[in-house]
Amino acid sequence: MKGNTEIQKLRTEDLHLYYGDVHALKGINMDVHSRCITALIGPSGCGKSTFLKTLNRMNDTIPSVKITGKVILDGEDVYGKNVDVTVLRKKVGMVFQSPNPFPMSIYDNIAYGPRVHGQKRRHELDEIVERSLTSAAIWDEVKDRLKKPALGLSGGQQQRLCIARCLATQPEILLMDEPTSALDPISTSKIEELIYDLKKEYSIVIVTHNMQQAARVSDYTAFFLLGELIEYDTTNAIFSSPKVQQTENYITGRFG
Amino acid sequence: MSETQSIIAVRKGKSGVERTMNLLFLLCGLTAVVCVVFMTLYMVVAGGPIIAKVGFFDFVFGRTWNPENSQFGIFPMIVSSIAATGGAVLIALPCGVLVAVFLAKLAPDRIAAALRALIDLLAGIPSVVYGLLGAILLVPLIFNLQTALRLPTSGNLLAAMLILVIMILPTIISVSETAIRAVPKEYEDAALALGSTRLQSIFKVSIPAAKSGIVAGIVLGTGRAIGEAMAVIMVAGNAAIMPTLLGPVRLLTTSIPIEWAYSSGTHRDALYGIGLALFVMIMAINTIFRKTLKKGGAFDDG
Amino acid sequence: MNMKKPLGIMLSFLLCIAVFAACSSPAGDNAAGGDSSGELSGTVKTGGSTSVEKVMTALIYQFQEGHQDVVIDYEMNGSGDGIKNTINGLYEIGHSSRELKTDGTEDGLTATPYAIDGIAIVVNKENSVANLTKEQLSGIYTGTISNWSEVGGKDAPITVITREEGSGTRSAFGEIIGIEVKDKPETAIVPAATVSDSTGAVQTAVQQNPNAIGYLSFSDVDTAKVNTVSYEGVKISTDTLKNDTYKLKREFYLLTKTGGELSPAGQAFMDYVLSSDGQNIVADQNLLPI
């Protein structure tokens, strides 16, 4: 079931990915709806993280990777000719599984993205930093120690910092690769709240190992298995009445 | 069911073999400590008297070195040593780091392997060979520069600096490359995901993250540069005067081999004094580097 | 565990003492001797001037050919080194290319001349200057004359090359042209002069540097590499040395401890150098025999 073309933010067409000889993604056709949260679930090694990384071309950094098919973002093919990858990644931000703030101050972490894209004015950087940290619900906790090292924060705080860092480049889509799997339950719930809030402004794709999280947070859910997209529907539909037997088996825990 | 085994030890304490080995290791460690302590004491005992005799300020800050006339001022040599080493490090540092970046991040595997082998080769060449090549190839080239500037043609500080650069480059490159490789891939991934180009992520994230390793390379390089004598003698002109870039210079190290053989009495004591001065300088440089490192390191560990 | 600390300290102390004890100065020992049948054998340790290298190695070679069981060691670290180490017994015979000092610091040695050597003034092959007076030379070496144009050459700064302080050639040269006079600082060699540490190094430096001037033993001059400059109008050659018109010269000396005894091999070597055979070799090397 596909949404109306107007609210499709991003669409993949017959996307295949090969790691050398290994066929890791097999003909994925999927939509990401605007201002919604789309969850990708499936057992380990099913290709969901790989798929996520095709959306902002992070797989380019791996030399043996070959990709065919299209990823259409706002009408433009991400893998087309003359695409400026740095602009793509400004538009499509990514948060990683383990928090990875730079070994710099909190301020410099957030300012990194804007600086790299040409923003040099101190005054404007200050504003961006405050705005991003506020959007990530961490401003109050760090506003008095912006110059201190980011690595001095707790795990949960670091992850929120990474989200803030991502937001500083004013992306339109946020990709999150198991953002809470390395965190404790309290930080996890804080971040889930944050993600839910963020969907007001951003389209979010989140990979999660945790089905309950997918059920809690997302609007749409895609189930991946062995490199194939098995089923894609609204979260309600997937969890209460899955159409494919494999989906039901996974959700009920028969394998995983 | 078979018998169960008792966990109580049969023999009390460590076995004889272990005790002997422990003693052996202790002796080895002590020997190392003894060597360092002994050398330090010897330098102080051998070099101290001349400084007491000539007077600390006259020795260290005196401008004239003329042992035949009992003048023992080593200030020009101190400045020359600092200039040659400092200049060499200033040039070798950016060159070395850039090559390290190339090797670690940008070069195709085969080219990187060949380049690394070449650099290791450079590291192994005896310094006298560098001196020879410098005297035959480099110094005549600099003559042209000196002539164009209407300066006397001679061995000079620039030649000494360039020789030192070539000698310390392999060290800086290897250590920096290791440090850059050790930077976790996550930092670079994060930088790329934020829209940096490859080069931006290398220069704004990887290199700053590798800072402490790079500084370690600089320390090693500085140590080698400041202690170099033979290669420098062949290209530096060896005049004990205040250094100018294109004029002849004499470093602290070069006086010793030149004058050792025929020195005696006070003159020889003065050479010991130079040795002591070198010793102190190296200790000072090491301490300064350690302190700077600690500051940077603390930042990293948060 | 509490045995280790005092044990460690004691061991360190012992090791320190052992190392200090091992640093006593080596006793000089003379291995050369003869046995009762009169056949010479053993090693004679000699050392000193680099300027005498050519003639000395020729003499040593011929002597060893005639006395197969004798080895003459010849270390080359400069006249200063030769003088010093003959006084302290390290060398049985020392080599010097200058006279002994009379100020008391080099007492106790006998200097036996065996050859007269000219000191050649050399310049680069491209340099057209052919003659220098004593005033010009001392001016150049003290720095009052600093450009070749002042002495008839092209417009270029002069690069002064000198030997290290302990060099016999340097002292002999200085004495004759009146520089480096003690207590007269205005006669000091210009501080920016390049110091080369052997006679060969001077020649190489002058060969490579178009504006250089240097001095070295005539027996070492290779006219394929450098040009010699006339001194006071006289060109250096064996003839001008013989008839005493070329004045820049000095003698080569064999140094021995006054009142000491040489080993039979050492004495035989000294006799050989002064014999007609030895003096023929001296003449072969472009030196004047005594």
Q: Are residues C234 and C263 in the same domain?
A: no
Q: Are residues B173 and B210 in the same domain?
A: yes
Cα distance between residue C91 and residue C95, in whole Å: 9
Asked if B154's CB is within 8 angstroms of C159's CB, the reply is yes
Is C247:C176 a contact under the CB 8 Å cutoff? yes
Q: Across residues B94-105, what is the average pLDDT?
A: 94
Q: Are residues C147 and C177 in the same domain?
A: yes
Q: Per mean pLDDT, which of A220-224, B122-126, C48-52 is the most reliable? A: A220-224
Query: What is the count of residue pairs from B and C with beta carbons less than 8 Å apart?
Result: 105
Q: Are residues B146 and B270 in the same domain?
A: yes
Asked whether the predicted pLDDT for residue C123 surpasses 80, the reply is yes
Backbone angles phi, psi at A232, to 5 degrees: -140, 120
Q: Are residues B83 and B49 in the same domain?
A: no
Q: Is residue C109 part of a domain?
A: yes
Q: What is the largest CA-CA distance in chain C?
A: 86
| A56 → chain B, closest CA residue | B193
CB nearest A169 (choices: B187, B195, B197): B195
Q: Is residue B300 part of a domain?
A: no
Side-chain-side CA neighbours of residue A199 (13 Å): 21
Q: Are residues C93 and C123 in the same domain?
A: no
Q: Are residues B114 and B176 in the same domain?
A: yes
Q: Are residues B185 and B281 in the same domain?
A: yes
Asked whether the predicted pLDDT for residue B149 surpasses 90, the reply is no
Asked if B192's CB is within 8 angstroms of A61's CB, the reply is yes
Q: What is the pLDDT of residue B93?
A: 94
Q: Is residue B61 part of a domain?
A: no
Q: How confident is the model at residue C189 (pLDDT cuts 50, 70, 90)?
A: confident
Quote the ipTM score. Answer: 0.89
Q: Are residues C143 and C78 in the same domain?
A: no
Q: Is residue B230 part of a domain?
A: yes
Q: Are residues B183 and B42 in the same domain?
A: no
CB nearest B196 (choices: A86, A100, A165): A86
Q: Are residues C58 and C137 in the same domain?
A: no
Asked if B27's CB is within 8 angstroms of C195's CB, the reply is no
Identify the CA nearest to C147 among candidates C157, C133, C161, C138: C157
How far does the CA of residue B116 sit from the closest CA of chain A (Å)?
A: 22
Work out how many domains chain B is built from and give that number.
Answer: 2
Work out how many domains chain C is built from and give that number.
Answer: 2
Q: What is the pLDDT of residue B51?
A: 85
Q: Are residues C170 and C188 in the same domain?
A: yes
Q: What is the pLDDT of residue C16?
A: 66
Q: Are residues B272 and B156 in the same domain?
A: yes
Asked whether the predicted pLDDT for residue B297 surpasses 50, the reply is no
Q: Are residues C205 and C61 in the same domain?
A: no
Q: Are residues C208 and C270 in the same domain?
A: no
Identify the CA nearest to B159 among candidates B143, B171, B179, B170: B143
Other Cβ atoms within 10 Å of C52 Cβ, number: 31
Contacts of A61 in chain B (CB under 8 A): 189, 192
Q: Are residues B14 and B138 in the same domain?
A: no
Asked if B38's CB is within 8 angstroms of C165's CB, the reply is no
Q: Is residue B178 part of a domain?
A: yes
Q: Is residue C160 part of a domain?
A: yes
Average pLDDT, chain B: 88
| A55 → chain B, closest CA residue | B193
Q: Which tokens sit at C149? A: 């144009």
Q: Per mean pLDDT, which of A214-228, B49-63, C93-107 is the most reliable? A: A214-228
Q: Are residues C258 and C205 in the same domain?
A: no
C157: CATH: 3.40.190.10
Q: Across residues B194-219, what is the average pLDDT?
A: 91
Q: Chain B within 8 Å of C4 (Cβ-Cβ)?
A: yes
Q: Which tokens sit at C123? A: 């310049």
Q: Is residue C17 part of a domain?
A: no
Q: Are residues B50 and B165 in the same domain?
A: no
Asked if C188's CB is within 8 angstroms of B66's CB, the reply is yes
Give the range of the structural domain holding residue C144, as residue numbers without chain letter.
118-250
Q: Are residues B246 and B145 in the same domain?
A: yes
Q: Is residue C13 part of a domain?
A: no
Question: Which residue ranges make up each domain of chain A?
Answer: 3-251
How far does the CA of residue C142 sit from the closest CA of chain B (Å)?
A: 14
Is A230:A224 a contact under the CB 8 Å cutoff? yes
B176: CATH: 1.10.3720.10
Give the range of the structural domain holding residue B213, as residue numbers without chain letter.
75-295
How far does the CA of residue B154 sit from the closest CA of chain C (Å)?
A: 6
Asked if B195's CB is within 8 angstroms of A90's CB, the reply is yes
* Helix, strand and coil in chain B, % to nearest 5: 75, 0, 20
Cα distance between residue C212 and residue C160, in whole Å: 6
Q: Is residue C1 part of a domain?
A: no
List the single best residue of C164, C194, C196, C204 to mutate versus B (max B Cβ within 10 A).
Answer: C194
The answer to whether chain A touches chain C by having 3 or more C-beta pairs less than 8 angstroms apart is no
The answer to whether chain A touches chain B by having 3 or more C-beta pairs less than 8 angstroms apart is yes
> What is the topology classification, in CATH, of domain A3-251?
Rossmann fold (3.40.50)
Q: How confident is the model at residue B295 (pLDDT cuts 50, 70, 90)?
A: low
Cα distance between residue B162 and residue B133, in whole Å: 12
Cα distance between residue C143 and residue C41, in whole Å: 52
Average pLDDT, chain C: 84
Q: Are residues B144 and B254 in the same domain?
A: yes
CB nearest C159 (choices: B67, B136, B152): B152
Q: Chain B within 8 Å of A62 (Cβ-Cβ)?
A: no
Q: Are residues B48 and B187 in the same domain?
A: no
Q: Is residue B132 part of a domain?
A: yes
Q: Is residue C145 part of a domain?
A: yes
How far is the first Cα of chain B from the last one, in angstroms, to the nearest whole number?
57
Asked if A100's CB is within 8 angstroms of B194's CB, the reply is no
